[in-house]
Structure 1
Amino acid sequence: MPLVSCPTCEKQISKRAVSCPGCGEPDPFNRQVISKLFGFVFWIVLIVAGGYAFWTYVVPMLVDFTHDI
């Protein structure tokens, strides 16, 4: 497992460390921030794709349905 320097105290720690054993820095490599960012981007893309699909497929069917009545 590769060791890298802690951004705060410069001690060698594992890349997978949840906190630095030397200085106690929680999440020294900002994994949670990056994970939350990817989750946020995923949900935004999903909402936009759902809106596009609704606008492209459902709205025309509703318009045709109301014109037939």
Structure 2
Amino acid sequence: MPLAQCPICEKSISKRAYACPGCGEPDPFHRRVKFKALSTVLWIAAIVGGLYLFWVYGLPMLIDLAHKL
């Protein structure tokens, strides 16, 4: 198990620790913050991609369908 130093108290702790057992610092390596930012970026990309696909493919089909009625 890889060990690293806590940025607050500089004790050796596991890199997978959710809190430092020495000083109690929650998320000492900011892993949750990075994951949340990456998750947000991926969700925004998925929504923008979905809107683009609807604009390019779905909207013209709806317009053609409306003209046929």
Q: What is the TM-score when the length of structure 1 is the normalising length?
A: 0.91
What is the DSSP-based 3-state SS (H/G/I as helix, E as strand, rest coil) of the residue aligned with 1:13?
strand
For 1:3-42, what aligned pairs fall within 5 Å after superposition? 3-42=3-42
RMSD: 1.0
Q: Distance in 2 between matches of 1:4 and 1:47?
A: 37
List structure 1 segments (4+ residues) > 4 angstroms apart after TM superposition. none
| Displacement after TM superposition at 1:41 (Å) | 0.9
Q: Distance in 1 between matches of 2:5 and 2:42?
A: 31
Query: Unpaired segments of 5 or more residues in structure 2?
Result: none
Q: Distance in 2 between matches of 1:66 and 1:2?
A: 62
- Residue 63 of structure 2 corresponds to residue 63 of structure 1: yes
Query: Unpaired segments of 5 or more residues in structure 1?
Result: none
Deviation per residue, 1:15-39 (Å, 9 max, x gap)? 0111111111010011111111111
Aligned length: 69
Residue 46 of structure 1 is matched in structure 2 by 46
Q: Which amino acid aligns with 1:55?
A: W
| Displacement after TM superposition at 1:3 (Å) | 0.8
State the identity %: 59
